[in-house]
Structure 1
Amino acid sequence: MTNVSIVVGPMLAVVLVALVAVGAVVVRLGELGPGRAVVIAAVRAVAQLGAVSFVITVILRSAWWTGLFVLLMFGVAAVTSALRVGVPPRQVSWIAAAIGAGVVPVLALVLGTGVTPLKPIAVVPIAGIVIGGAMTATSQATRRALDELRLRHGEYEAALALGFPRRAAALEICRPSAGQALIPALDQTRTVGLVTLPGAYVGVLLGGASPVQAGVTQVLVLIGLLAAEANAVLAAVQFVAAGMLTGNAHPSRHPSRP
């Protein structure tokens, strides 16, 4: 263990408990939501990362197990995003398709060109970061698009009256709002090194690499994330406009359906 590693011991547990308590109290007293949500999220994070840390030692020994683990991450991401958006079960595949539209091209380019070694120790973290980013972007874009179509249904009807096809009319309403899902990725990329040092950079540094190596890794991750999220948002918006993703709205009331 290097002298820059996180010190594991009783004090770490105390600090973690204190941070969870602060978050829960602020959320509860600030009426931002139930404070237990913070506690539950923290407990799940500890349990899940503990399990992954135990299993990962086995997974990283085999390329086949690594591939299956990446597929598992992708499946969990699709289900999580679908639940967040509130789509019926039959539409989960379209959520998965939107996430895949962001993940597949980026991983194919990064891994296929040899920029990132095709080794389990490199594939798992890169895939996890890209899948996570595409999942978040898909959830945000889909929810924003569906909300806009519901709130501005009158404008959609007006566009139809002017002769717009249904899909084009829906896109005119929901596309600008859904595009805002890219703001976090854009801001993080623009301000990296000036406002924050993201996880990949810090992780590589803690692993003993040089600052230059850490910087190169972080640039690759940020730009890859931006590309993945852009593709995912575009696919999600198109699926919403085509009526493939309707959320909890009744099909007869979805703007893009007859």
Structure 2
Amino acid sequence: MTSTMLVIGPRLAVALVVLTALAAAVATAGRLGHGRQIVTAAVRATLQLAAVSVAIAAIVGSMWATAGFVLLMCAVATVTAGRRITGGRRGWWAGTPIVTGSLPLVAALLLTGLLPLRGIAVIPVAGILIGGAMTATSLAGRRALDDLTGRRGEVEAALALGLPPRDAALLVCRPAAGQALIPALDQTRTVGLVTLPGAFVGVLLGGADPLTAGVTQLFVLIGLLAVEVVAVVLTVELIARGRLRRGDTAVGR
């Protein structure tokens, strides 16, 4: 019996190439406009995971190196979310909801002893939480700014009635931004019934019993919900205050 889900070898490489080509071909045929991006993302993921797999082996033995790697993850997440939201270089404010949503929880887990002070434990947990905050920030930011652009007349009407720019923006964009929580909510609601997420499977494959795997996955899901709620609220606030914006979405201008 093998301890891994997939057999590593030439067949796996061929399967990855075929799946990437299939996804790109379907996206192109369906005129989704992301065919080249799918191939680029797959190639980047391959190279990055190969590099990270080598780097982590050297990093996990040092807490200073681990801390540096976590900060690097935050920086990359900030750049990614910022570009998704603003479409340019003005998205560095995206780091505020990402860092505020994820790192305090990691610190609290370490201080309470729930998370061992070891790189091999800190890096995956921090990565899951930072990744969740990044996704929530990107989705909330894009949807909020899209609504501010598409419903600009409503914003101007609210301003004409005497609402401050922040309140006028929140009135329009907050409901749309809140939809960024739907993926996390659906995953949490259906866990065990529709999907068995990565943390559960990973702990099982690591040799733990199903109860331990279930408790670990429960913690990850609820932790992600908390992180993403904080990220969405802060993202909406930054947009309402004009910190995160595109050139055509400044409220009151």
Which TM class, normalised by the smaller chain length? over 0.9
Describe the SS at the equivalent of 1:133.
helix
Equivalent residues of 2:102, 2:130 under 8 A apart: yes
Amino acid at match of 1:137: A
2:104 matches 1:105:
yes
SS in 2 for 1:89: coil
Tell me what 2:222 maps to.
223
1:83 aligned to 2:83?
yes
Alignment of 1:10-159 (within 5 A): 10-86=10-86, 88-92=88-92, 94-159=93-158
**Secondary structure of residue in 2 paired with 1:195:** coil
CA-CA distance at 1:86 after TM superposition: 2.2
Task: Give the distance between the partners of 2:86 and 2:238, measured in 1 at CA.
Answer: 15
User: Which of 207-216 and 130-139 deviates more?
Assistant: 207-216
CA distance in 1: counterparts of 2:152 and 2:175, whole angstroms? 15
Distance (Å, rounded) in 2 between the aligned partners of 1:119 and 1:24 = 39
C-alpha distance after superposition, 1:192-220 (max 9, x if no partner):
00000011111111111111111111111
Q: Which amino acid in 2 is paired with 1:104? A: L
Cα deviation for residue 26 of structure 1 reads: 1.0
* Contact 1:178 1:237 (8 Å CA) reproduced: yes
Distance 1:199 1:118 in 2: 22
Q: Which runs of no fewer than 5 residues in structure 2 stay unpaired? A: none
CA RMSD of aligned residues (A): 1.4
User: 2:197 matched to which residue of 1?
Assistant: 198
Q: Determine whether 1:166 maps to 2:165.
A: yes
TM-score by length of 2: 0.95
The one-letter amino acid paired with 2:117 is: L
Amino acid of the residue matched to residue 117 of structure 1? P
Deviation at 1:4, TM superposition (A): 3.1
CA apart distance, 1:90: 4.4
**Superposition TM-score, scaled by structure 1 size:** 0.93
Percent identity of the aligned residues? Answer: 58
Is contact 1:182–1:230 with CA below 8 Å preserved after alignment? Answer: yes
Write out per-residue CA displacement over residues 23-65 of structure 1, whole angstroms, 9 at most, x where no aligned residue: 1111111111242222111111111000000111000110110
When structure 1 is superposed on structure 2, of 181-190 and 110-119 the one drifting more is 110-119
CA distance in 2, matches of 1:86, 1:153: 17
1:254 matched to 2:253: no
1:89-113 deviations in whole A, cap 9, x for unaligned?
3441x11112112112321222221
1:160 is displaced (CA, Å) by: 1.6
Aligned residue type for 1:53: S
The farther-off stretch of 21-30 and 67-76 is 21-30
Question: Which letter maps to 2:50?
Answer: G
Kept in 2: contact 1:87–1:245 (CA 8 A): no
Gap runs ≥5 in structure 1: none
